[in-house]
Chains A and B, each alone.
Chain A
């Protein structure tokens, strides 16, 4: 488990915030791979607050907007940025990109580009943890959009039924793509649904990272003892769904109001007012983090493209034959001598 004091939580949130800002720059510079980038700016307290209480051996799955969670869990920003840029040096050698990043070493069982798609994996990971008596928990991170997907309810039912060491963490940024939560459900009190399945269920305001971390600490401790849980974290997504989305579905007044709910600034102000860190110390920290993330962009941009032949690799295990490329196959067939 990590240090959960406010200075550490702040630093982790600042790293997530700055990383995401750099991801946005990568996109603007035309250096990101593909068109899909989902920034989690505004949601830092969820990533950092929950991950603060995870430990080695724990596993997790994330969603479209999972950069911050992975970074908070200890990911190397260089390899993350390289993956987002589609480079060989990235976590998945450029095949996963932003939406499908994973790292088994850190227990990251995968980001998911299917809304709700990664949720049931934690049920299986929970079965494994219990079978192997590893003491590990598994956490499914997803957005409020996923609460419309049946797989969440199938998974919560199984987790509760079998008392698995798992937690379902809903990062409620108020929008499933362009549809506001109150346009997607008649009852936006999401934890009530989980409670109905028999899970320990709570909603916490994401403005204060310490509140999030406290709630996560309780629920994670319970999960390790076989009390599966659901935590909904209220926050506001500062930018559009994906990088090109200008958010036509919400007005400037709403966005301005929403962006006041900034967990990073909130923590910064509190550090100063509580006398834990000075403004100068915080500025120095922010500068150090900015420099680290600048380095990650440079690392990503400088990385090599994947080798073409790698296209046919890892469809199946390395011990298995690779699929025959279309071109090779056709050349072979057309080169046959007529009988």
Chain B
């Protein structure tokens, strides 16, 4: 397949379609995934291609969707369960954290749960406090769950294909603000490996470690910092938060001496807190400044676009904080 211009949404759909064609044990299940085509259109027309036995519309029963995926995965299927919004993950947490994440360990390695839980999160659509959260910290805090969060069109495709190859449960969090983003996709190009971070931009002064939509904010900020302020920034896209590729981060931070972690999730006990602690522990002797967390405010998300946008990191905030690190 040649390079094509496509959207994040269609790249996801292509990944699902190809995986289903290749392996008849792949099934898709969730609320509105079939006839409706998915709340954000990712599974559009899959039901026409693969039928209702493999693209299964479910009742609005989040816990049982995930629970059924657990049982299906244990008995030989490769379920892709869709949770419409990551905000609903609380209803599934027993099945996800107590069942899917624990089964291989509790049962002494007899069996794994190779399922993918696709969902989306983050801000950007004025969807309010119950439809805009960034709850990746819940997942990262649970051993046994893998966590993938694609930032680019290429990774929407490649990370989903990779997630479907994993022997363990993967939570795959898309960003609602990225579905219409366009980019080049070459399905045949060799992607970064599963669990490998990518360096999207190189600079000697500061390393920004981030993931999902904030990759784009960091890249925008980095351009401003280079152009207007002479600060050269490396931007690392983690791609997966579990596995976490610290081997890529360490030498970059040691060389630059300054590190910032950017995350849309709330500051306290969040992903950025973990990353900053890890960088501090492992790179302490090389740091010129404390590791800085630029993260979501410790508040619910507002419907007001103005309040919403400013409750999570913006390119402007990243620029401002970066400049202060050199003041």
A residues with CB within 8 A of B: 59, 61, 90-96, 100, 102-104, 109-110, 112, 114, 117-132, 138, 150-151, 154-155, 157-158, 161-162, 313-321, 323, 333, 336-339
Chain B residues with CB below 8 A from A110, complex form: 103, 106-107
B77 near A124 with CB under 8 A, answer: yes
Q: How extensive is the interface on chain B, given as a class?
A: 35 or more
Question: Whose C-beta in chain A lies nearest to the C-beta of B102?
Answer: A100
Chain A residues with CB below 8 A from B167, complex form: 316-317, 319-320
Binary A-proximity of B107-134 (CB < 8 A = 1, otherwise 0): 1111110000000000000000000000
Chain B residues with CB below 8 A from A96, complex form: 106-108
A127 near B108 with CB under 8 A, answer: no
Chain A residues with CB below 8 A from B281, complex form: 333
A151 near B94 with CB under 8 A, answer: yes
CB of A165 to closest CB in B, whole Å: 12
A126 to B74, CA, bound (A): 11
Chain A residues with CB below 8 A from B98, complex form: 114, 117
Q: List 17 A-B contacts (CB under 8 A).
A: A92-B106, A96-B106, A104-B74, A114-B99, A120-B64, A121-B67, A121-B74, A124-B75, A124-B77, A128-B72, A151-B67, A151-B94, A158-B68, A161-B59, A315-B144, A316-B168, A333-B282
B75 near A109 with CB under 8 A, answer: yes
Interface assignment of B71: CB less than 8 Å from any CB of chain A:
yes
A122 to B64, CA, bound (A): 10
Question: Whose C-beta in chain A lies nearest to the C-beta of B282?
Answer: A333
Interface assignment of B188: CB less than 8 Å from any CB of chain A:
no
Chain A residues with CB below 8 A from B67, complex form: 119-121, 123-124, 151, 154-155
A158 near B109 with CB under 8 A, answer: no
Q: A124 with B25: in contact, given A117-B99, A157-B61 (CB under 8 Å)?
A: no
B168 near A59 with CB under 8 A, answer: no
B64 near A154 with CB under 8 A, answer: yes
A129 to B285, CA, bound (A): 57
Interface assignment of B69: CB less than 8 Å from any CB of chain A:
yes
Interface assignment of B295: CB less than 8 Å from any CB of chain A:
no
B residues with CB within 8 A of A: 25, 27, 53, 56, 58-59, 61, 63-64, 66-77, 79, 94-95, 98-99, 102-112, 143-144, 146, 167-168, 243, 281-282, 285-286
B61 near A313 with CB under 8 A, answer: no
Q: A129 with B75: in contact, given A93-B109, A124-B69, A155-B67 (CB under 8 Å)?
A: yes
A102 near B107 with CB under 8 A, answer: yes
Chain B residues with CB below 8 A from A109, complex form: 71, 74-75
A131 to B56, CA, bound (A): 12
CB of A296 to closest CB in B, whole Å: 18
Q: A123 with B286: in contact, given A132-B76, A315-B143 (CB under 8 Å)?
A: no
Question: Whose C-beta in chain A lies nearest to the C-beta of B64?
Answer: A154
Q: In the complex, given contacts A91-B108, A124-B67, A154-B63, what are 9 additional A-B residue pairs having Cβ atoms less than 8 angstroms apart?
A: A110-B106, A117-B98, A120-B66, A128-B72, A138-B71, A151-B94, A154-B64, A154-B67, A319-B167
Question: Whose C-beta in chain B lies nearest to the C-beta of A338?
Answer: B285
Pick the contact of A316 from B58, B99, B144 — CB < 8 Å? B144
Question: Whose C-beta in chain B lies nearest to the C-beta of A59?
Answer: B75
A305 to B133, CA, bound (A): 44
A114 near B94 with CB under 8 A, answer: yes
Chain A residues with CB below 8 A from B243, complex form: 320-321
Q: A339 with B285: in contact, given A91-B108, A102-B110, A121-B99 (CB under 8 Å)?
A: yes
CB of A332 to closest CB in B, whole Å: 9
CB of B318 to closest CB in A, whole Å: 27
Chain B residues with CB below 8 A from A129, complex form: 75
CB of B86 to closest CB in A, whole Å: 19
A199 to B90, CA, bound (A): 28
CB of B234 to closest CB in A, whole Å: 20
Chain A residues with CB below 8 A from B286, complex form: 339
A316 to B282, CA, bound (A): 24
Chain A residues with CB below 8 A from B59, complex form: 154, 157-158, 161
Q: Closest 10 A-B residue pairs measured CB to CB?
A: A120-B67, A124-B71, A121-B71, A124-B72, A154-B64, A92-B108, A317-B167, A314-B109, A128-B75, A154-B61
B72 near A125 with CB under 8 A, answer: yes
A183 to B72, CA, bound (A): 35
A321 to B56, CA, bound (A): 34
A150 to B69, CA, bound (A): 17
CB of B294 to closest CB in A, whole Å: 25
CB of A111 to closest CB in B, whole Å: 9
Q: A318 with B285: in contact, given A120-B64, A123-B71, A131-B25 (CB under 8 Å)?
A: no
Question: Whose C-beta in chain A lies nearest to the C-beta of B114?
Answer: A317
A123 near B68 with CB under 8 A, answer: yes
A158 near B168 with CB under 8 A, answer: no
A102 to B61, CA, bound (A): 26
B108 near A158 with CB under 8 A, answer: no
Question: Whose C-beta in chain B lies nearest to the C-beta of A337?
Answer: B285
B68 near A127 with CB under 8 A, answer: yes
A317 near B64 with CB under 8 A, answer: no
Question: Whose C-beta in chain B lies nearest to the C-beta of A155?
Answer: B64
A51 to B222, CA, bound (A): 65
Chain A residues with CB below 8 A from B144, complex form: 315-316
Question: Whose C-beta in chain A lies nearest to the C-beta of B72?
Answer: A124
CB of B285 to closest CB in A, whole Å: 4
A92 near B71 with CB under 8 A, answer: no
Question: Whose C-beta in chain A lies nearest to the C-beta of B66?
Answer: A120
A128 near B76 with CB under 8 A, answer: yes
Pick the contact of A158 from B61, B112, B146 — CB < 8 Å? B61
A131 near B77 with CB under 8 A, answer: yes
Q: A127 with B72: in contact, given A114-B98, A120-B95 (CB under 8 Å)?
A: yes
A63 to B204, CA, bound (A): 57
A91 to B74, CA, bound (A): 17
Question: Whose C-beta in chain B lies nearest to the C-beta of A109?
Answer: B74
Chain B residues with CB below 8 A from A161, complex form: 59
A125 to B58, CA, bound (A): 16
- Tell me which of B64, B76, B112 has the highest count of chain A C-beta atoms within 10 A of its own C-beta: B64
A94 to B99, CA, bound (A): 18
